[in-house]
Amino acid sequence: MLNEAISFKFKSSNESLRTAMKKVVIDPVTRIEGHAKISIYLDDAGQVTDARFHVTEFRGFEKFCEGRPLWEMPGITARICGICPVSHLLASAKAGDRILSVTVPPAAAKLRRLMNLGQIIQSHALSFFHLSAPDFLLGMDSDPQSRNLFGLIAAEPELARGGIRLRQFGQEVIEILGGRKIHPSWAVPGGVRAPLSEEGRDRIQKRIPEVRTTILKALERFKQLLQDYEKEAQTFGNFPTLFMGLVTDEGWWEYYDGCIRFVDSGGNIIADRLDPTRYQEFIGEAVEPWSYLKFPYYRPLGYLTQSDRSRLDSGIYRVGPLARLNVCTHIGTPLADKELKEFRDLGGATVLSSFFYHYARLIEILASIERIEMLLNDPELFSDRLRANADINQLEGVGVSEAPRGTLFHHYRVDENGLIQKVNLIIATGQNNLAMNRTVAQIARHFIQGSDIPEGMLNRVEAGIRAFDPCLSCSTHAAGQMPLHIQLIGVDGNIINEVWRVQQ
């Protein structure tokens, strides 16, 4: 795949010369030249024909791992991303479990769960409170000068402080388990390295009432606002797709183990009890010449090709908070289940609009807090059997876990001694790639007419992408930051309009 991706790099320059199309390019500039950009193609009449979310830089991370002993992989992969190190740590350790052919001790599995819940809270809190909340709470068309965290702090200081405290809480859970270091190599193939102390348990427990109140308040506030955003809810990636996520054996919300379920937009389960480690049977990974980010799709329904872009019955699927809430029947905790019921009243059988990713995140924070509370009361958590010892028993292993942004797959192949031969990572942002493309197209069709690039459209494209909370640092180096560079390109390929919106 790597070679294919590289060879495409050279083709892509010709590709941009596509004629009879105008093109709008939204080009985020990241701190270190990582690049993702959005192009919106217009026809002669100035109507949007297509949209693309490009990732134009690729870092050969997989290469870096080749030749390393399997046991070092959790520590290495946790370092590829500063956003969700725990997700990679867990998926990697789980791939290792498979290669050792062990069932991890129950206490170790529960402690890993605990850490993943901390990661979900921490990550969702950043996404919602600091990145997205200003858009809703202050209004999408409000003055961009104040439509940001500071505007939010001024308007809703309590909410903003609560967001920081929620993040801290998630971070604390991670640190209590994995130690002060940001990238703990705490989960290892076979289990975990260190137990939870009773003192650590007490520290987490003490903070639960406060964070639960914070998230309940935030949910209340968010629900009040929903009615003002009917239009966004309609245009923000509101289209039928499949949804994929892990569920428990009973079909409930799951974030660490379980089976894969796909549901369609009508809420019908179209595939269930799929063994996540056999992902290659149901997930295909397409490569497009114009992006380094692969396009995973549900294999039985096939990949959408250029000629049949308008087809809906393709293998496009979404992962992440919205998908997890759409695939499960229940969450399994009282407060979150109550919220889930209300959430479901919004849509039909499934909630389709990507706009509701934000809402889903809040519900998942609540669910995670409740789950942590339940886990902490489990006496088995303090068992000192934490690590199954075994050696290489299979040459291939897939580790799957739910990262905050969606299902994360780590697939390793090792030689008989345990040295890594091949690594394939399927990350959440990749799986939402097709949906992000379609989201951008939907928003663009709604707001772009002719050669103008209205401010409100920019905000919405930004927000539409942000709904997925994309993070590319593990597949490419680009961060999820979205300062915009927009180019409007005429039929002849010349730039006829250009807007930069760079960070102040």
Partner 1 sequence: MSVKTLTVNDRFISAREEETILEAAKDAGIHIPTLCYLEGVSEVGACRLCLVEIAGSNKLQPACVTKVVEGMEVSTNTPRLQQYRRTIVEMLFAEGNHICSVCVANGNCELQDLAIETGMTHVRLEYHFPDRQVDVSHDRFGIDRNRCILCTRCVRVCDEIEGAHTWDMAGRGTNSYVITDLDRPWGTSSTCTSCGKCVNACPTGALFYRGVSVGEMKRDRAKLDFLMTAREKKQWNV
Partner 2 sequence: MKTITNNIVKNVVAIGYGSRLCGDDGVGQAVAEAIVAWNLPNVRAIASHQLTPEMVDILVTVDLAIFIDACPTDDSLSVRVYPIELAKSGSTIGHYCEPKMLLAIAQALYGYHPQAWLVTIPALDFSLGDRLSCVAQNGMTEALKELERLIRFDTAA
Residues near partner 1 (CB under 8 A):
67-69, 71-72, 74-76, 79, 185, 188-190, 193, 389, 391, 417-419
The CB-of-73 to partner 1 minimum distance in angstroms stands at: 9
* CB nearer partner 1, residue 64 or residue 290: 64
* CB nearer partner 2, residue 25 or residue 166: 166
Q: Does 207 bind partner 2 (CB under 8 A)?
A: no
Task: Please list the residues that pair with 469 across neighbouring strands.
Answer: none
Task: Take residue 6 and report the two structure tokens written for it.
Answer: 């590289």
Half-sphere exposure of 15 (CA within 13 A, CB side): 13
C-alpha closest to that of 471 among 178, 34, 149, 117: 34
Q: Does 160 bind partner 2 (CB under 8 A)?
A: yes
Stretch that binds partner 2, among 2-10, 123-131, 212-220, 252-260 (CB under 8 A): 123-131
DSSP 130: I
Q: Kindly tell me which residue out of 85, 284, 296, 399 binds partner 2, with binding defined by CB under 8 A.
A: 85
Other beta carbons within 10 Å of 221: 17
Pairing state between β 191-192 and 242-247: unpaired
Stretch that binds partner 2, among 26-34, 196-204, 231-239, 310-318 (CB under 8 A): 26-34
Q: How many residues does the chain have?
A: 504
Stretch that binds partner 2, among 113-121, 162-170, 263-271, 485-493 (CB under 8 A): 162-170
C-alpha closest to that of 323 among 362, 361, 289: 361
When CB distances are held under 5 to 8 angstroms depending on the partner's kind, the choice from partner 1, partner 2, none that residue 193 binds is partner 1
**Cα distance between the two ends of the chain:** 38
- Report the C-alpha gap between 131 and 135 in whole angstroms: 8
The SS3 of residue 177 is helix
* CB nearer partner 2, residue 57 or residue 396: 57
Phi, psi of 273 (to 5 degrees): 55, 35
Q: Does 146 bind partner 2 (CB under 8 A)?
A: yes
The CB-of-178 to partner 1 minimum distance in angstroms stands at: 11
Q: Kindly tell me which residue out of 35, 37, 167, 411 binds partner 2, with binding defined by CB under 8 A.
A: 167
When CB distances are held under 5 to 8 angstroms depending on the partner's kind, the choice from partner 2, partner 1, none that residue 167 binds is partner 2
* CB nearer partner 2, residue 76 or residue 90: 76
Q: Does 456 bind partner 2 (CB under 8 A)?
A: no
Stretch that binds partner 2, among 155-163, 219-227, 237-245, 358-366 (CB under 8 A): 155-163
Q: Does 467 bind partner 2 (CB under 8 A)?
A: no
Task: Please list the residues that pair with 19 across neighbouring strands.
Answer: none
The CB-of-83 to partner 1 minimum distance in angstroms stands at: 17
When CB distances are held under 5 to 8 angstroms depending on the partner's kind, the choice from partner 1, partner 2, none that residue 71 binds is partner 1
What is the sign of the dihedral through the CA atoms of 186, 187, 193 and 199? positive
Strands, E, within 213-336: which ranges? Answer: 242-247, 259-263, 269-274, 283-286, 295-298, 317-318
Q: Kindly tell me which residue out of 67, 69, 82, 454 binds partner 2, with binding defined by CB under 8 A.
A: 82
* CB nearer partner 2, residue 30 or residue 350: 30
Maximum alpha-carbon separation in the chain: 69
The SS3 of residue 415 is coil
* CB nearer partner 1, residue 75 or residue 245: 75
Stretch that binds partner 2, among 72-80, 231-239, 271-279, 358-366 (CB under 8 A): 72-80
Say if CB 366 and CB 359 are below 8 A apart.
Answer: no
Task: Take residue 337 and report the two structure tokens written for it.
Answer: 């289940």
Element (H, E) at 323: helix 321-327
When CB distances are held under 5 to 8 angstroms depending on the partner's kind, the choice from partner 1, partner 2, none that residue 348 binds is none
Alpha helices in 126-181 (DSSP H): 133-138, 149-155, 157-178
Of residues 241 through 280, those in contact with partner 2 by CB under 8 A are none
Q: Does 74 bind partner 2 (CB under 8 A)?
A: no
Phi, psi of 443 (to 5 degrees): -65, -45
- Report the C-alpha gap between 170 and 165 in whole angstroms: 9
Q: Does 126 bind partner 2 (CB under 8 A)?
A: yes
- Report the C-alpha gap between 293 and 486 in whole angstroms: 21
C-alpha closest to that of 74 among 368, 475, 420: 420
* CB nearer partner 2, residue 151 or residue 276: 151
Q: Does 480 bind partner 2 (CB under 8 A)?
A: yes
Binding-site size for partner 2 (CB under 8 A) equals 47
The CB-of-399 to partner 1 minimum distance in angstroms stands at: 14
The CB-of-396 to partner 1 minimum distance in angstroms stands at: 17
Q: Does 184 bind partner 2 (CB under 8 A)?
A: no
Strands, E, within 75-205: which ranges? Answer: 187-188, 191-192
The CB-of-430 to partner 1 minimum distance in angstroms stands at: 24
Q: List residues near partner 2 by CB under 8 A.
A: 31-33, 59-61, 63-64, 76, 79-80, 82-83, 85, 126, 130-131, 134, 144-151, 153-154, 157, 160-161, 163-164, 167-168, 171, 182-183, 471, 473, 477, 479-482, 503-504
